[in-house]
Structure 1
Amino acid sequence: MMKQFLSALACLAILSSCAVQKQAQLVKEKDVERIIKTLSADDMQGRGVFTPGIDKAASFIESEFKTIGLKPLAGLSGYRQDFSMNRIVPGPYQVSINGKAVEQQNVFYISDKPSLIWNRSSDVETHYIKANQSFTARYKEIMQLNKPVLVYVDESLFSAFKRFRDHYMDERVVGEFQPTEAVFVLGNEDVVQSFSINLTNTISKAPLFNVTGMIPGKSKANEYVIFSGHYDHLGIIDAVEGDSIANGADDDASGVTAVISLARHYKQLNNNERTLIFVAFTAEEVGGIGSQYFSKQQDPDAVVAMFNIEMIGKESKFGKNAAFITGFEKSDFGQILQKNLEGTEFKFHPDPYPEQNLFYRSDNATLAAQGVPAHTISTDQIDQDKYYHTVNDELSTLDIANITSTIKAIALSSRSIVAGTDTPKRIEKLKE
């Protein structure tokens, strides 16, 4: 009798293993390569926001969702989730300190107004960031004052100053206008005795769109599991050896490839008890705007889990068949995934880069702040990735087999959450 029982258990284990293998085979490496090759091609122009390239990328993702047979989200007639934000582009500006004109590369400003005209008689406080001080720490202190400020920065802090300038003097996309007014000037004056500042911004409404689709759940249709990645990238940047297209193959065409592949996987299985939402976010690179808008349209209490996928194009620091999960310790999401991978070679690890604060730097952040077990899955060695945000983030630098194995692992590890038999613990909400 015991032998029969053990034999039955062995048969069940074999059947279960066969079912797992069959599921994994639904994700095909050839198709993975086709998708990521298309999204990272030069004709997508780096998928910068407000460019023809990002519209072309969105159209491609829409066509994939349609071919798969996804349904539009409730209330939408198609796969695009349209919205608009405020686009702010710095315009002409003139700054002089103590009667001397300041070169434009030595100025950056933060303002959501069409113009600023300041002089010594204006209600503006002057602050200094000196050579022996941390630029970032002083920046935070000064910005918390919420007052109009002129900040004079010692020339020795050029590198930190330039990082902030590169961010603020590019176009920005914001939801609501903020009252912040700050002008930062790099120079070698001991004391600012007088100043004349004339700044302008061009402000317009900016149309944006996420690409979304869903597979309705069977018995738990009002419970949602989200699979996401962002399809925007940097667009056209400074040329290096004649190449100016930031293709964004790993960041994050690899993640969107996973989203499309997982949509096809679960549509073919057709056994999801919970509703599955698949979303390619826009404007991650300019502040996570797309995911913020999407998240505000959701009831966070109805979202059971979010699998955000960001940069899975290369082998992780843990080697092959391995990825990491940001915020691993914040819920049992990662433990559930690893349980579902028992018997396979793949393993999920906690985030090895806690100092990078990756958990709140990607598109999972808004829903995570509201208590959703929303985590990002990645393989990127962020501390030494020489292709990150460069023109060299191209298909040729990626490991397609690694991408495929990671997608298969996400498919297998998510199955009990999709089936409604596992529910990850909620994350502690961020206090406002």
Structure 2
Amino acid sequence: MNKKPIFLLALIFSFISCKQTKNIKRNNTKVTQKKNISIDSSLVRKHLYTLSSDEMEGRKPGTEGMEKTTVYIENEYKKIGLKTFGDLKSYRQNFTHKGIKMSNIIGVLEGKTKKNEFVIVSAHHDHLGVKKSGDGDRIFNGANDDASGVVGVLTLAEYFAKSDTNERSILFVCFTAEEMGLIGSTYFGKGIDPTKFVAGINLELIGKEPKTGPKTAWLTGFDRSNFGKIIQKNLEGTDYKLFPDPYLKFNLFFRSDNASLARLGVPSHTFSTTPIDIDPDYHKVSDEAETLNVGVLTETVKAVAKGTESIINGKDTPTRVVIKE
């Protein structure tokens, strides 16, 4: 019996099977990649507990703890593959304020067809440092204020980098010295052309459930542009809702870093979830990671990703902000 034809048939069959297996693997890879484009609660937890740990010493500008925080954020930007901004040689935008050396930390995800139009995703990475005297815990860990916001910046940077659908360029910025009077964001605003900035997405105190209920957040300056209405429209069909700021008497629109850009006309607003009028941990040493709800934080960041998608993809452009202090 001639065995050559049988051998050839077996070889052909083996080749076809191999090819099919490779195709299946390719298809599986695609499916896996799709599943990985999400906001992972374990990553949220990791960032939160690292940024608000005692090792960071309350993240006061000019301290060793702040330097450790900066290095951590820089390393995350590098892992994600963000570029540096403008003429900067690194992710740090260095400056000095009242004799203290400070840095905003800026990473860029370049847009595809509208790379000269910028959306900024921001939070402040500074806090109050350490009490000079006293018994017991003296570290202001600032878990909710504003490690929670920085967690949002880092996870959104990874999410949008993996999604690879941003037509506009996204600046991921961790501002310094917000607690000293919006120092970092004010410095940043002086060096940009605000007409190129389409929207500002600022994250502040997003780790606790608000009075408006589960899977909700509120937005400062809601009536000053149509930014909030765009977010609400994009969240239709989900179980997450966005509400206007319920604390108008506190003038919160001008108390976070969004204000520095808003004063330049940029539709820049702050997302928050915390019931600040009854929050027992605000600016206290008790603002620890354990007091936050990682589920709330994760769901809020997911909602911000979904809600801002049409702005980042270039489909929607918010109206310029109206300033009337």
**TM-score bracket for the superposition, by shorter chain length:** 0.7 to 0.9
Q: Report the Cα distance in structure 2 between the residues aligned to 1:82 and 1:430, rounded to whole angstroms.
A: 31
The match for 2:256 among 340, 362, 370 is 362
Residues 1:415 and 2:309 are matched in the alignment: yes
Paired position in structure 1 for 2:91: 79
Match in the other structure for 2:266: 372
From 49, 53, 62, the equivalent of 2:61 is 49
- Code of the residue aligned with 2:59 in structure 1: it is R
User: Are the counterparts in 1 of residues 37 and 159 from structure 2 also a CA contact under 8 Å?
Assistant: no
**C-alpha distance 427-288 of structure 1, shift in aligned 2 (>3 A):** same
Instruction: Give the TM-score of the pair, scaled to structure 2.
Output: 0.88
Q: Deviations over 1:361-410 (max 9, x none)?
A: 00010111121100000011111111000110001100000000000000
Over 3 Å counting, the alpha-carbon distance change for 1:305 and 1:259 in structure 2 is: same
Cα deviation, residue 360, structure 1: 0.4
How far off its partner does 1:46 sit?
0.5
AA of the residue aligned to 2:308: S
Confirm or deny: 8 A CA contact 1:240 1:391 kept in the other structure: no
Cross-structure match for 1:226: 120
How many Å separate the matches in 1 of 2:101 and 2:245?
Answer: 35
- Give the whole-Å Cα distance in 2 for the aligned partners of 1:49 and 1:247: 14
Distance in 2 between the 1:296 and 1:32 partners? Answer: 32
Q: Secondary structure at the match of 2:210?
A: coil
How far apart in 2 are the matches of 1:418 and 1:276? 8
Contact 1:246–1:391, Cα closer than 8 Å, also in 2: yes
Question: Is 1:24–1:412's contact at 8 Å kept on the other side of the alignment?
Answer: no
1:68 to 44, 62, 80: 80
Identity, % of aligned pairs? 49
Structure 1: which 5+ residue stretches go unaligned?
Answer: 1-18, 88-204
CA contact (8 A) 2:61 2:100 kept: no
Q: Counterparts of 1:221 and 1:32 in 2: how far apart (Å)? A: 28
1:312·1:379 contact (CA, 8 Å) conserved in 2?
Answer: yes
Residue 293 of structure 1 aligns to a residue whose secondary structure is: helix
Give the aligned residue type for 1:259.
V
Alignment of 1:280-295 (within 5 A): 280-295=174-189
Aligned partner (choices 132, 135, 153) of residue 259 of structure 1: 153
CA root-mean-square deviation: 1.6
- Structure 2 CA distance for aligned equivalents of residues 25 and 347 of structure 1: 22
**What secondary structure is seen at the aligned counterpart in 1 of 2:306?**
helix
Q: Which residue of 2 aligns with 1:402?
A: 296
Q: CA deviation at 1:321?
A: 0.3
The residue matched to 1:307 in structure 2 has which SS? strand
Deviations 1:182-232 (A, max 9, x none): xxxxxxxxxxxxxxxxxxxxxxx3211011101111111111000000000
Matched residue type, 1:359 = F
Q: What is the one-letter code of the residue matched to 1:287?
A: G
User: TM-score of the superposition, structure 1-length normalised?
Assistant: 0.66
Q: Match of 2:275, SS?
A: coil
In structure 2, C-alpha distance between the alignment counterparts of 1:405 and 1:222, rounded to whole Å: 30
Partner residue, 1:117: none
- Deviation of residue 298 (structure 1)? 1.4
> Using the alignment, how far apart are the partners of 2:173 and 2:223 within structure 1?
25
1:70 is displaced (CA, Å) by 0.3
Q: CA contact under 8 A between 1:369 and 1:430: conserved in structure 2?
A: no
Picking from 110, 123, 130, the partner of 1:236 is: 130
Which residue does 1:383 correspond to in 2? 277
Deviation at 1:264, TM superposition (A): 0.2
Query: Could you say if the C-alpha distance between residues 407 and 331 of structure 1 is closer, same or farther in structure 2, counting changes exceeding 3 Å?
Result: same
- Deviation of 1:428 after TM superposition, in Å, equals 2.2
Deviations 1:238-260 (A, max 9, x none): 66650000000000000000000
